[in-house]
A and B are shown apart, each in its own frame.
Chain A
Amino acid sequence: MKGSYRQAEESELVRASIEGDKLAFGEIVERYRKMVARTVKGMLGDSVFAEDIGQEVFIKLYHSLADFRGEAKLSTYIQKIAINLTLNEIKRRKRFFSTFSQKGNNEMYEFEVPDYDSEEKRDASELVNKALMRLDPKFRIIVAMRMLQGYSTKETAEILDLPIGTVLSRLSRAQEQLKVILKKL
């Protein structure tokens, strides 16, 4: 089986990764790379820092795989790591910028707009990025889960360890904030 993990079950990938098989772990990274990118880049912007955090997520996953009991889905487990590391990074930047800069919070986030094959796609991506970055971080995570990952309210609540009522109320408040933000864009 070693060397061909494309069709492998998640549990097999986890087991092999714990045993130190880098190929198996590489397959886990391949499967969940985009999901992590949506969370991290959706919250931090499309920057080189987001790449670093993305790497940190998988490194932390690698070192904590032995603790993964399989009670939750692996995707949920990875998502929680991604959210925790991203929120820590936001807090760290907030502290740094409040100490060393007089400018607003928006400069905390940077954009490196990737190459797109059409102007329209580029504009769409830029609009979503800008809108997300202007949202309050506690709403941004909810919106990223819902709008970018396509999670239901129940799944969002489970991943964020929040009551469903809180998720619903934050969704509604995020929607109000987004309406104001998008009007100006």
Chain B
Amino acid sequence: MKPSELKRLIIGSLDENADPQLAARTLEEEGVSFDFSKGFIDKVIDRVASGADTVSREIEFSRSMRIAFNRIALTGVAAIVLLLISIFLGEGSFSLNSFLGLGDTYDEGIICLLTGN
């Protein structure tokens, strides 16, 4: 097909009343065909298979993380409670101040350092 005929076909294919299938068929016969390279299906299947593995690995990982977090969180809370109790006992009082971690004593060294007096 001459370039001028091809151009007419392209423009004519967009007419409202044109048969779109006819233009598509003619263009394909004239060598205007589109396809992916050899091995396309294998590449897709490979990617699908590896993707599926990745998804299951991700799910497995997040599940493990959740279990680990629960254990760490519970142990952590227990450790904090024990630490607080030991502090209170060490201070010798269970006052609100000691409960909140506030002491009545000042470190004079730090005050000197901050104020210069």
- Residue positions of A touching B, CB distance < 8 A: 20, 22, 25-26, 29-30, 33-34, 36-38, 41-42, 46, 51, 54-55, 58-59, 62-63, 116, 118, 120-125, 127-128, 131, 143, 146-153, 168, 171-172, 174-175, 178-179, 182, 185
Which 4 pairs, one residue from A and one from B, show the smallest C-beta to C-beta distance? Answer: A121-B31, A150-B24, A150-B21, A175-B14
B 23-63 contacts with A by CB, 8 A: 23-25, 27, 30-37, 40-41, 43-45, 47-49, 51-52
Question: Taking CB as reference atom, which chain A residue is nearest B14?
Answer: A175
CA distance A51 to B93 in the complex (A): 74
Assess the A120–B1 pair: CB atoms within 8 A: yes
Q: Considering the chains assembled together, what is the distance between the CA atoms of A97 and B13 in angstroms?
A: 32
Of the candidate stretches B2-10, B64-72, B83-91, B105-113, the one touching chain A is B2-10
In the assembled complex, which residues on chain B have CB atoms less than 8 Å from the CB atom of A146? 13-14, 20, 23
Please name the residue on chain B nearest to A145 by beta carbon: B20
Indicate if the CB atoms of A128 and B48 lie closer than 8 Å.
no
Chain A residues near B104: list those with CB within 8 A: none
In the complex, are the beta carbons of B48 and A178 less than 8 A apart? Answer: no
The verdict on A143 contacting B14 (CB below 8 Å), with A33-B41, A41-B34, A55-B40 known, is yes
Tell me if B10 and A178 are in contact (CB < 8 A).
Answer: yes
A-B contact count (CB 8 A): 117
A contact residues around B16 at 8 Å (CB): 153, 168, 171-172
- A37, B41: Cβ atoms under 8 Å? no
- B32 x A128 contact (CB < 8 A): yes
Contacts A33-B40, A33-B41; A127 near B34 (Cβ below 8 A): no
Q: A26-B41, A121-B30 are in contact. Are A128 and B23 (CB under 8 A)?
A: no
Offer 29 A-B interface pairs, CB within 8 angstroms, sorted by A: A22-B45, A29-B41, A30-B41, A36-B36, A37-B34, A51-B37, A54-B36, A55-B40, A55-B44, A55-B47, A58-B44, A58-B48, A59-B51, A63-B51, A116-B31, A124-B32, A147-B13, A147-B23, A147-B27, A148-B34, A149-B20, A150-B20, A150-B25, A152-B20, A171-B14, A171-B16, A174-B14, A182-B7, A185-B7
Whether the Cβ atoms of A59 and B10 lie closer than 8 Å is no
Partner pick for A37 among B7, B23, B35, B45, CB 8 A cutoff: B35
